A and B are shown apart, each in its own frame.
Chain A
Amino acid sequence: MLSQIEGSRAVAETVALCRPQVVGAYPISPQTHIVEGLSALVKAGTLGGCEFINVESEFAAMSVAIGASAAGARAYTATASQGLLFMVEALYNAAGLGLPIVMTVANRAIGAPINIWNDHSDAMSQRDSGWIQLYAEHNQDAVDLHVQAFRLAEELSTPVMVCMDGFVLTHTYEEVAVPTQEAVDAYLPPYRPRQLLDPAEPVTIGAMVGPEAFTEVRYLAHRVQLAALTRLPALAEEFAASFGRPAGRPVRPYRTRDAETVVVALGSVLGTLKDTVDELRAEGESVGVLGITLFRPFPLDAVRAALRQARRVVILERAFAVGAGGVVTADLAPALGPGQQSYTVVAGLGGRPVTRASLRRVLADAGAGTLDPLTFLDLRRSLIAPACEGA
């Protein structure tokens, strides 16, 4: 059933349907509404024996999730931005221990300068943490990806991060079908931990590993992550059959089949991009969009296949690697052939809107061959001029 609902509320209700047993909560904008929603649901007794813990930091939130998951509970938390960075040590630890924790990241810039608005700097900075990363395009996507995230995490015994754009999705009311409890229960079986702290069968979890086996542990972690490349599409098909909606496909090509220019992006900006592409198609331009849902593991083969016909690839970066350039660009480079020109467009940092007008200008420049290989969309030159003078 469709309801007009805030993105955060929809995610909170969906996470509740996934029957988490331990939720660690710490407030940070723009994530806060999600844990507020879960707090109310737990307090009202909707989630049975679920433990909702108001922790003292994001580092503790992830640490509580680690303990809970190792002790056999389905564990969930949510964060954003500085909060994600504050839990980084525990983030790597959860992945290294192979604990199937699910976390929502309400994507937000990281400071300084402090900025609460949306971009992908937070999650992108954790691309090598060992977590699987899924990026939602809209709120229906966010809802559906959470259901799949628990299933994927527990099947592979590895943590999954569901990324949704802060404010743009978390604080937006739109039509969303929140699934029924019966449908979620049918799709998501109860958590069966692969490793369990159990006095009846004591195990040591988190031993010290030296040079003799550390590389092997990392190799196996990579292997487990790569399994998501085949497991997620299968789960997506099963989801589509059960829920009647596609979600969780690692890449989403849109009008790319014969497109000379393809824009690659992640997250909610895909909506604006599709509108822009529709306009340009109507004007006879040969453009398309490739959305990436699964960023870790990186679906290189699927990206390569989707970009095969493109002469120009414009990568819209919602994060920026200072001193290097595009983050997605670097991952995507091996997918491109010698005849394909790629452009990196850094766009929408710290919540700056990415408009159709600006996208049209970028695509026109790309088509004319005048686009810089590294472009900052709508860079306000008057603001930087004083600092750049004499430099």
Chain B
Amino acid sequence: MSSENIESIVNRCYEHGFVTDIATESLPPGLNEDVIRAISARKNEPEFMLEWRLQAYQQWLEMTEPDWAHVNYPPIDFNAISYYAAPKSDEDRPKSLDEVDPKLLETYDKLGIPLHERARLAGVAVDAVFDSVSVATTFKGKLAEAGVIFCSFSEAVHDHPELVRKYLGSVVPRRDNFYAALNSAVFSDGSFVYIPKGVRCPMELSTYFRINAANTGQFERTLIIADEGSHVSYLEGCTAPMRDENQLHAAVVELVALEGAEIKYSTVQNWYPGDENGVGGIYNFVTKRGDCRGDNSKISWTQVETGSAITWKYPSCILRGANSVGEFYSVAVANNMQQADTGTKMIHIGPNTRSTIVSKGISAGRAQNAYRGLVKVLPQAHGARNHTQCDSLLIGKECGAHTFPYMEIKNPSAKVEHEATTSKISANQLFYCRQRGISEEDAVNMIVNGFCKEVFKELPMEFAVEAQALLNVSLEGAVG
């Protein structure tokens, strides 16, 4: 279809309100109010959602792109991006795994991805993915029994507008930062989770998510609410390499933990990092924040990041409730030309709030890996405590690791500790392993996995195994 045609359809859409049958067409590149109206219309959104997006857009227009991260990239032309990509039709998809690139299948194999998930990950037409569908139906039943709401963000806007209205933007306000504002204006889809009072979610939402999430696009939006005394463990992403024609990805994740609730959010992320020269990799600019709104609540972020050409990401915790706990466990790998600028913010507001930060950065090739962490203790946060441990591992001579710890302590009773180490995989360590019959590559993997152990043990079991395999694949050829 020519772009003229598309435009005429888009225009028609504005004239007549939403037209559902054109939801299968992508929008031409560019961003303005009309584009936002079109997105909202295609999703059949209620008025409040459109208003919310439009306000975000106005705020975004007044903001400028941040430039303080330790990363370099050519300027992004926001008018060259298409903000609504139609879902791929089944005709364009492979019909079965036999039609999928054997190289991709080989990677799945190396990563130990379960057979029943491979078809979905490879984008095989849904009808062909029998296994997944039946598994998903079983999961749905179990969750419904427990009263857990778990659906796409688009569905939540329709089916649970009161919850969306109450919590959307309550952790990451629209104008929080440039990319959050952009996401708020144009977000494509994402996940929505609500765990009712006192409910312990009967399963890792990870498994279910991985089987069901359709391609959520470049501006993903996730909202998780754990009501009083509830508990949920959620896993985002997967170890399979994700390629996307869209270079810029700007997701927003908001977590709300009410009194006594606990949210464990794990991410294993493997966006395409580009080739050895960094060409074609994904720019991943993410805003993730959790709000320990109630007393005795807990939010724990665990992440294993190996992908993207550029990662800019600081999952954070606002420790508002008394005795609330925030945790951040991270492994960030940067190889070849990758640039990663990640870290966390722990904002202590309530009394006796505690936070733990364990960050493991691995740099190889010519990569740059930066840790940026902020620990802030407000005056009313009596007895607040933080422990930060920040370790860097260098493989090779041309890579770099940078640590930027910031602390703002406004309460004298606070206890804040920071430990940092930098180590290298030495030639003697590798030789020692090789003398014991272990290949150089296996030796590197062994040392890297040892380095990351503390973080891996925080991941749900099956993902810990996958994450370990992922790291090995990511560092293939890093030495020698």
A and B are interacting partners:
no
